[in-house]
Amino acid sequence: MYTWGNYSSGKQKLLYGNNLAYQIASTPFGFAETGTFGDPNATPPQTVQLSADGQLTPITPPACSYVDVATTGTAPAFQTTGWYIVTATYLGHTTPPGAVYMATAGLPSTKTNPTGECGPQPTA
């Protein structure tokens, strides 16, 4: 993750270093369509781990927080079902919350999602 500071002068600066701390909420919003949302702040962490410098790492148990809502055609239409909330704090200022969606477990294969993908796929 990256955190940018927007200053009253109009200047933007990429924030980093010891004065920047990232947080992730233990309780996710919503639910995992497949797999399990674990507690990222447990010892050891579950589902996802957020490092002090903002790196998110998926770990077991896997989870998929998307569902394929397509009813016709041969392409999926993904909708989110749950997410973790993350914030960053820099010198006492905390960002608005951001969402982290999980896509480490597959979905069941269907006519609209024959390969069982979890969530939108990157495009080239």
Under a CB-based contact definition with an 8 Å cutoff, are residues 7 and 19 in contact? no
Count Cα atoms within 13 angstroms, Cβ side, for 83. Answer: 10
d(CA 84, CA 65): 10
Q: Of the candidates 93, 33, 95, which has an alpha carbon nearest to the alpha carbon of residue 67?
A: 33
d(CA 32, CA 111): 21
pTM above 0.95, yes or no: no
Condensed to tens digits (0 to 9), the pLDDT of residues 48-90 reads: 899 888 888 888 888 999 999 999 988 899 999 999 999 999 9
Condensed to tens digits (0 to 9), the pLDDT of residues 7-54 reads: 999 999 999 988 999 999 988 889 989 888 889 998 888 888 998 888
